[in-house]
């Protein structure tokens, strides 16, 4: 039996074949990753990626300065609470008040206007090296002491306690900030030669000056 198509049927059939071929051709190109002709690209609507609207969880920053909690057990409840007492307020001395420079501890020294913890420790430390202050003016030798601070604290001090004398023997000569290696050499030579220790013999060595004698005289045992 022979099929017969009229003119309208043939037109519809041709259009249907063209559509099928076009679909097959387009599917083959996209599947193989081949470039799509410009004419075809213009007819393809752009694909817009949908933005993820799910809120992201905030990233917690690690606190490197945090102190971990102590480990506790049935037999160890952990360290005791901080029971350190705050430093009591020390009222400053009033103008006209004075303290003994050789007996004041750091607590009393901090009551002097212009003296804090650091300078109080320095004053005590240098006092120990000297064996005591024989005049208030020696405060100028304390490390970090400037003229302004010295002028401010000077009126609050007196010296009412004797200094500690040096130990001078052939076997041992006390360390002292005022004794240089030349002084020790001269003292040791006099001791070895059994000369009497007095300022006439010390000055005769040529290693001591008048200024040395003024500074060292309060600490000499003779």
Please tell me the class of the 99-158 domain: mainly alpha
pLDDT confidence of residue 114: 95
pLDDT confidence of residue 52: 53
Residue ranges covered by each domain of the chain: 7-41, 99-158, 165-222
User: Rounded CA gap, 215 and 198, in Å?
Assistant: 15
Distance of CA 42 to the CA centre of its chain: 68
Full 3-state SS string of the chain: CCCCCCHHHHHHHHHHHHHHHHHHHHHHHHHCCCCCCHHHHCCCCCCCCCCCCCCCCCCCCCCCCCCCCCCCCCCCCCCCCCCCCCCCCCCCCCCCCCEECCCCCHHHHCCCCCCCHHHHHHHHHHHHHHCCCCCHHHHHHCCCCCHHHHHHHHHHEECCCCCCCCCECCCCECCCCCCCHHHHHHHHHHHHCCCCCCHHHHHHCCCCCHHHHHHHHHHCCC
CB atoms < 10 A from the CB of 147, how many? 8
pLDDT confidence of residue 23: 74
pLDDT confidence of residue 40: 47
Q: Mind listing the pLDDT tens digit of every residue in the chain (222 residues)?
A: 555 667 777 777 788 877 787 776 766 655 555 555 555 455 555 555 555 555 555 554 545 566 788 888 888 888 887 655 555 678 999 999 999 999 999 999 999 999 999 999 999 999 999 999 999 999 999 999 999 999 999 999 999 999 999 999 988 999 999 999 999 999 999 999 999 999 999 999 999 999 999 999 999 999
């Amino acid at each position: 039996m022979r099929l017969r198509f009229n003119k309208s049927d043939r037109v519809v059939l041709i259009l249907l074949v063209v559509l099928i071929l076009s679909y097959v051709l387009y599917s083959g190109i996209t599947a193989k990753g081949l470039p799509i002709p410009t004419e075809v690209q213009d007819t393809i609507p752009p694909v817009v990626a949908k933005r993820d609207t799910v809120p992201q969880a905030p990233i917690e920053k690690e606190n490197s300065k945090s102190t971990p909690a102590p480990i506790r057990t049935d037999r160890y409840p952990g360290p005791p609470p901080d029971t350190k007492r705050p430093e009591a307020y020390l009222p400053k001395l009033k103008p006209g008040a004075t303290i003994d420079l050789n007996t004041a501890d750091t607590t009393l020294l901090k009551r002097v206007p212009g003296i804090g913890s650091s300078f109080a420790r320095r004053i005590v430390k240098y006092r120990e090296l000297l064996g005591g202050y024989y005049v208030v003016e020696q405060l100028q030798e304390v490390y970090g002491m400037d003229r302004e601070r010295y002028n401010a604290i000077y009126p609050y001090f007196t010296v009412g306690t004797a200094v500690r004398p040096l130990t001078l023997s052939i076997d041992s000569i006390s360390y002292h900030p005022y004794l240089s290696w030349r002084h020790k050499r001269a003292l040791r030579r006099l001791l070895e030669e059994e000369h009497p220790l007095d300022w006439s013999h010390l000055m005769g060595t040529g290693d001591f000056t008048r200024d040395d004698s003024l500074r060292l005289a309060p600490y000499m045992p003779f």
